[in-house]
Structures are given as structure tokens and as C-alpha cells.
């Protein structure tokens, strides 16, 4: 399993959806709870965020590789969680 880094902003509606999808998916598929997700609020941790190459949130990195950036759908979140779980 590989860890996920999730960059977000508190007031971002797409980020709120991403968190909602993560919660729903972990309830629907308990095996996905095992995926480690480090969340980084970019305005509170700019020194961390500035070390990564992205422009939009939410942005997901798996094992330090950018896998998704910007608006996201539930099926895409599930694919990311499964990719991290199976890696």
C-alpha cells in the first residue's frame, strides 16, 4: 500500500466533495479505510504545498506522484483509493 497526499483548501467546494466521497467510500468498502491519507490544507501549510507542482485543488499524490488535480467524481476517488491500496 502507498500513502496518499491530499492537498486542499477549506472553502473549496470540490475539496468538500472529495472528502465526502472518501467518507462514503470507506463506509461502503471498509477495506479502503486502510489507505493512509495525509491531508494538507495549502493555505495553512504553504511551505509543504510549495514543494509540489500543482495549481488546483483537490490534488492527490500517491507515493509522491501526482495522480489527480482539480474537480473530482466519486468513481475517480474510488480509483485513487484502490490504486493506493493495491500498490
* 3-state per-residue secondary structure call for the chain: CCCEEEEECCCCHHHHHHHHHHHHHHHHCHHHHHCCEEEEECCCCHHHHCCCCCCCCCEEEECCEEEEECCCCHHHHHHHHHHHHHC
Domain ranges of the chain: 4-9+19-86
CB under 8 Å to 65, separation ≥6 — which residues?
none
Which pLDDT value is given to residue 70?
Answer: 97
CATH number belonging to domain 4-9+19-86: 3.40.30
Q: Which of 69, 73, 76, 4 is nearest to 35 (CA)?
A: 4
**Whole-angstrom Cα Rg for the chain:** 12
Which pLDDT value is given to residue 87?
Answer: 72
Per-residue pLDDT of the chain (87 residues; tens, 9 = 90+): 999 999 999 999 999 999 999 999 999 999 999 999 999 999 999 999 999 999 999 999 999 999 999 999 999 999 999 999 997
Q: How many residues does the chain have?
A: 87
Amino acid at each position: 500500500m502507498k500513502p496518499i497526499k491530499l492537498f486542499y483548501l477549506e472553502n473549496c467546494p470540490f475539496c468538500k466533495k472529495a472528502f465526502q466521497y472518501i467518507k462514503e467510500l470507506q463506509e461502503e468498502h471498509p477495506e479502503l479505510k486502510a489507505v493512509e491519507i495525509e491531508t494538507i490544507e495549502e493555505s495553512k501549510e504553504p511551505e509543504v504545498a510549495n514543494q509540489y507542482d500543482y495549481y488546483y485543488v483537490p490534488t492527490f499524490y500517491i507515493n509522491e506522484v501526482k495522480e489527480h488535480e482539480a474537480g473530482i467524481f466519486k468513481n475517480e476517488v474510488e480509483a485513487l483509493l484502490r490504486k493506493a491500496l493495491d500498490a
